[in-house]
Structure 1
Amino acid sequence: MLDRIHLAVIQEVERQGSLTAAADRLCVTQSALSHSMKKLEQQLGTPIWLREGRSLRLTQAGRYLLELAGRVLPQLQLAEERLRQFAQGERGSLRIGMECHPCYQWLLKVVSPYLAAWPDVDVDVKQRFQFGGLDALQDHEIDLLVTPDPVQRPGLHFEPVFDYEQVLVVARGHALAGAAHALPRQLAQEVLITYPVAPERLDIYTRFLLPAGVAPARHKTIETTDIMLQMVAGGRGVAALPRWLVQEYAARMDVVPVRLGPRGIAKQIHLGARVADLQTDYLQAFIALARSMSAQKAINLEAIQT
């Protein structure tokens, strides 16, 4: 009765806004699409849409099927992709979603040796999940989620793989450059440069400025780390980034890290996966490699600092 094409039609009509546009997207005629959906409505005994002028509004049954499509279709697509890989002699694919901008720099260091160790596994990094990665993981659109802010949900597991400190980044000639730590009030006259993320998801706000009732003079957003640090080095503002990342850039840019508050802000990068997939050998291998490389990196940084 209910086929995959029905779910795809409901999803596309919702996305495109009309049966005509959905039919074009699915490469079928509008009449064939309409006939198929009317037949389904007859079999179900309930309408899927209500017409309001030229637009369609989902009924309660239609909304249920739309939610079902969001869960089922990605899993079917994943199953087909896995079977295609098996048929071609490939091991599988590892789709990684990013939920933090600076984590990308860390991820590059893990992906390179992983590709060498697992040549029959494809790796795809999906940055479009930066702000919706949790749902993407749960809906089988990605296999691993890189995030500094895990949210526990049934069926998901988050593994901490890298400890780091979030620090303030200032120009080498800045008044705070030689300070043991920065205080919130010292940022009240500063231009704060961040990635384009809502303030309520930024540690510099939630764990440093807002508890002290302080706001920066101006908040500016920049998407790329290189440009952000060029701005900081040029005295155009300050930023908040992982200490390890700042130390790497400090070798070629006039920027220095400053602790945020007397105790600093401790963070962790986590890798999130579905519990049902944790026994997949190449997924396990990626998590283990990330953990081992991060431990070695911490040892190296400690040696440099001492």
Structure 2
Amino acid sequence: MLERIHLVIIREVHRQGSLTAAAGALYLTQSALSHTVKKIEQQLGTPIWDREGRSLRLTQAGQYLLSLAERLLPQFEHAEARMKQYAEGERGTLRIGMECHPCYQWLLKVVSPYLERWPDVDVDVKQRFQFGGIGALFGYDIDVLVTPDPLKRPGLRFDPVFDYEQVLVVAEGHPLAGARYVEPEQLLDETLITYPVETDRLDIYNQFLRPAGVAPRRHKTIETTDIILQMVASNRGVAALPRWLAEEYADRLPVASVKLGKDGIAKQIFLGTREADASVDYLASFVAFARDGNVPSPRLRG
């Protein structure tokens, strides 16, 4: 019979790469862990690992169980932590997943008053998820997903919290800086700087360039907003960012915002949560803070 401890051992051996390291992490002797590993395989009737010297490599059956462990164990751990919070009268930790790179500045404006209102709640922010944002919600790796691209799934809800306009950001001295709006063809000779996100998920590609059959001369990715805008200000490229963010930086950097197309690109930020958590008061409060608090919501400009 498959037991939880079997999944814990499979996950830890995979994480550590060897029985010796896994035994230390699990507070077991190596001989005790080796005996347990053999017992697991005997009980399940199939090899879970291939031995390669001192290393272990998961078999196909082992890979399946590892995938199962990585889906189920976080849910057990989350449930245990929640029960402990109930037992001790604590609120716990609100884990926020980010699928919106430029939203950190916005998040800070929400988190600060939220922490004042909920002194017993800690906030943790995660950006990379093993199964993506939706999978992280289902797998209880996070409690809230901040995303501009909600994917409707049974058991999840997405609340819109603010509207914004996606604009092209250029250096003040750039030829496009004084334009009312930019057409896709005007980016043919440009270096487009974006966050390291698949182009299929970038609005400037999906809603602006690809419908016109246009690609920029070069596409460069940079992790941080500050460096992206420093590069733009130095005329090393152009970037597509929320207008509210571009205008915040325009106070200290020589950059300008230009509408993408005559009608612009209107977007929304959503918070995704699990429907099963609807009664969790501090989580519902965070959504309310994000929706009703002092967050940027500029109108599209002509």
Common fold, TM-score beyond 0.5? yes
The question of 1:151 aligning with 2:151 is answered yes
Question: Which one-letter code corresponds to 2:230 in the other structure?
Answer: Q
Cα deviation for residue 5 of structure 1 reads: 2.3
Percent identity between matched residues is 70
C-alpha distance in 2, partners of 1:200/1:123? 30
8 Å Cα contact 1:171-1:255 kept in structure 2: yes
Call closer, same or farther: CA 1:227–1:52 in 2, change over 3 Å. Answer: closer
Question: Which one-letter code corresponds to 2:81 in the other structure?
Answer: E
SS of match in other structure, 2:38 = helix
8 Å Cα contact 1:98-1:130 kept in structure 2: no
C-alpha distance in 2, partners of 1:141/1:211? 36
C-alpha distance in 2, partners of 1:185/1:71? 45
- Provide TM-score, normalisation by structure 2: 0.90
Call closer, same or farther: CA 1:2–1:131 in 2, change over 3 Å. Answer: closer
Cα deviation for residue 127 of structure 1 reads: 2.5
Question: Which one-letter code corresponds to 1:31 in the other structure?
Answer: S
Counterparts of 1:70-81 in structure 2, within 5 Å, are 70-81=70-81
- The answer for the alignment partner of 1:235 in structure 2 is 235
- Provide TM-score, normalisation by structure 1: 0.89
SS of match in other structure, 1:164 = strand
Call closer, same or farther: CA 1:65–1:141 in 2, change over 3 Å. Answer: same
8 Å Cα contact 2:162-2:296 kept in structure 1: no
SS of match in other structure, 1:102 = helix
- The answer for the alignment partner of 1:137 in structure 2 is 137
8 Å Cα contact 1:98-1:129 kept in structure 2: no
When structure 1 is superposed on structure 2, of 34-43 and 101-110 the one drifting more is 34-43
SS of match in other structure, 1:97 = strand
The question of 1:252 aligning with 2:243 is answered no
The question of 1:214 aligning with 2:214 is answered yes
SS of match in other structure, 1:32 = helix
C-alpha distance in 2, partners of 1:128/1:188? 32
Call closer, same or farther: CA 1:36–1:64 in 2, change over 3 Å. Answer: same
SS of match in other structure, 2:257 = strand
C-alpha distance in 1, partners of 2:86/2:122? 12
Q: CA RMSD in A?
A: 2.5
Cα deviation for residue 167 of structure 1 reads: 0.6
Cα deviation for residue 55 of structure 1 reads: 5.6
Call closer, same or farther: CA 1:50–1:222 in 2, change over 3 Å. Answer: closer
- The answer for the alignment partner of 2:193 in structure 1 is 193
User: CA-to-partner distance for each residue in 1:93-120, whole Å, 9 max, x for gaps?
Assistant: 2110111210111111111111111111
8 Å Cα contact 1:168-1:240 kept in structure 2: yes
- The answer for the alignment partner of 1:98 in structure 2 is 98
